[in-house]
Amino acid sequence: MMNRNSLATFILLGLNVFAFVWTALGSESLMMNSQLDVLAILHAGANLNPFTLGGEPWRIIMSMFLHFGIFHLLVNMFALYSMGRMLEPEVGPVRFLMVYFFCGIASGLFSLLFNVYTISAGASGALFGLYGYRLGAELIGNFRDRKGLNAVVINFIIFVVINAFITTQFSVDIAGHIGGCIAGLFLAVLQHKLGLLRRKRDLAIVLVLIPFSLFALPKDQLYYYRIFQRVLKAERYTNQLYRNKLTDFQIKDSLVAIVPEWDSIGRSLHALQRIPSELRADTANLANYVKLRRLEATFRIALIEHESYVYLDSLEIVDKEFDGILPFQYSLNYSPPEAEAEETKTTEDPGPALETRRVFYDAAWKEIEDPSASVYYRIGSIDSLGRWQGQVYDYYRNGSIQMKGKYLDGMKNGVFLYYSERGRYASAGRYVKEDAVGKWESYHWNGALETEVYYNNGAFTKSVMDSLGNAQVVNGKGKAVSWHPNGQIAEEGSYYDGRREGDWFGFHEDGKPYYHELYRDNRLVHGVSEDKDGKRYVYDQLSQYPFPVTGMKAFNEYLNKNRRVPDSLKNESGIVKVIFNVGVDGSIWDFVVIKSLSLAHDQEAIRLIEKGPSWRPGLLHGHIKRPSQGYVEVIF
């Protein structure tokens, strides 16, 4: 049966249990120790500096009735029951409640003042206050019951030991505990030593006024928290851009809108007048993070605006700097984790297993075994079929980068950046399954932009510049001139509507005529060249491409005569398209299937080409053999 002398104690017990049941209904477990449970308690009313000082002062009361799990509740309720049964009959239920709330509010104020972003909840602060109040009263001598004093001391020691154990298991508000205890001792001294606040009315007035001290507390954590929330908001906005199906220019316009916000956040960080010592490292870290996010947005804007993939290198540098940012000690994201997008079904074929490889090549990009004889080497991932997959890096023999690009099933498929041995850009653009698409840029030896060519059902040369940056071709029209290192003109000709048109002339380094070529709509119609020895060559467009030495008709007859596939696949018909390298000596290698029929058909197509007639490489100006890319369609 409830003792009327302990009515306030049982009311407090009931309120705490009710609040626990209310929060436990939506929790993951009664221990409430998961991130989601802690966040749920925070949003239910736990005490946290930027929340309480940011316009929610009611938290300083509400937090006294919330607990982090059943164990936390049971320890505090046992202490409340024990202390209440001893103290309430001595002071009466009304004064007991006022002492309880006075100590609990003081505990919350101490927590706000001395903690840095600690989520505080529980009756512990008020209970430490009750123990402090009772101990103070006993020591001052108003209560003569020494047995009672011994019981208080023993219970207090047990309570402290249990809370010390809880501290090792969970994040416990020690400042709040100390503050509550000090508030209890202080109140005991005022009442029982100095004779102040003895009347309930006086204590009630103080109890009403004490929460107003919230307005006097420093707002440094609140100001930093608000800046941090702006960072999170800007970050979520930016990340959402890439989840939505927006065009590049829609993304660019959105990024242009967010850059001023990154600038404003940076200014707000620098304008902080007082930074708690615990936050100084995080503040410097956050300022660096904001600077990098602004830089990242700026580079992405430039990439889209100029359609220049060289900015990917700048973004790569920014990404590496992001990796160097230390974890924040106080990550102030108190929102529940966003629901992740539905993952791809695990039943889908994960694809062939990948193996990281380093492969060495000679000057013609033919694979060799001897690293000492290599001119280039490649690092990337190869699947079980020997195809390059994902990001691939090519290097010159000295270790400087030659190319960065992405492959899909052995085909160039993504952005490619090429570099000269000087470490400058050579060209940059994008492939889709071996086809150049969009804007491609090429660069002079000194890193200056040379050409801008757009690929879309053909090539459109928009701009040509000399090595000093002077425009020669603008918007597809103009005369392009290039020079030999000794200053002699090497080539000159006109572009019309982005294509080579009319007569183009080439010259040897000594100034003598080299070739005269006629173009129509970017196609070589006719060419005549004369090498340094005076030998003359006549050629047309076909000479530019590799060709079976027996001729295309005889090559197709060879394919039709020698095709063989397993009987089980003979009813399958279709075309296998293969590309491959053709060296200056006519050798062929590095076969890539760009249109597949089946693995058996693909392998048979490669076998036919590999074992078939020899190839003649492509010829530059009718006589200079150059490495080329062959193309064959095998019909089954």
Q: At what angle do helices 220-243 and 280-306 cross, to 10 degrees?
A: 30
Q: Which helix (H) or strand (E) holds 579?
A: strand 575-582
Residues paired with residue 518 on neighbouring β-strands, in sequence order: 503, 526
Task: Provide CB contacts within 8 A for 292, sequence distance 6+.
Answer: 318, 321, 322, 325
How many Å apart are CA 471 and CA 449, to the nearest integer? 10
How many Å apart are CA 429 and CA 452, to the nearest integer? 10
Nearest to residue 8, comparing CAs of 77, 66, 94, 82? Answer: 94
Q: Which of 67, 72, 177, 192 is catalytic?
A: 177
Pairing of strands 547-548, 414-419: unpaired
Nearest to residue 93, comparing CAs of 200, 9, 195, 194? Answer: 9
C-alpha 131 chain-centroid distance: 51
For the chain, what is the total number of helices (H) and then of strands (E)?
16, 25
User: What stretches of 485-566 show up as alpha helix (H) in DSSP?
Assistant: 552-562
Q: What is the DSSP letter of 487?
A: S
Nearest to residue 283, comparing CAs of 46, 117, 56? Answer: 117
- Whether 124 is catalytic is yes
Assigned token pair, 408: 């899909």
Task: Provide CB contacts within 8 A for 624, sequence distance 6+.
Answer: none
Q: Which of 124, 427, 529, 543 is catalytic?
A: 124
Residue length, the chain? 636
Q: Is 115 helix (H, G, I), strand (E, B) or coil?
A: coil
Residues paired with residue 183 on neighbouring β-strands, in sequence order: none
How many Å apart are CA 113 and CA 119, to the nearest integer? 13
Q: Which residues are catalytic?
A: 124, 177
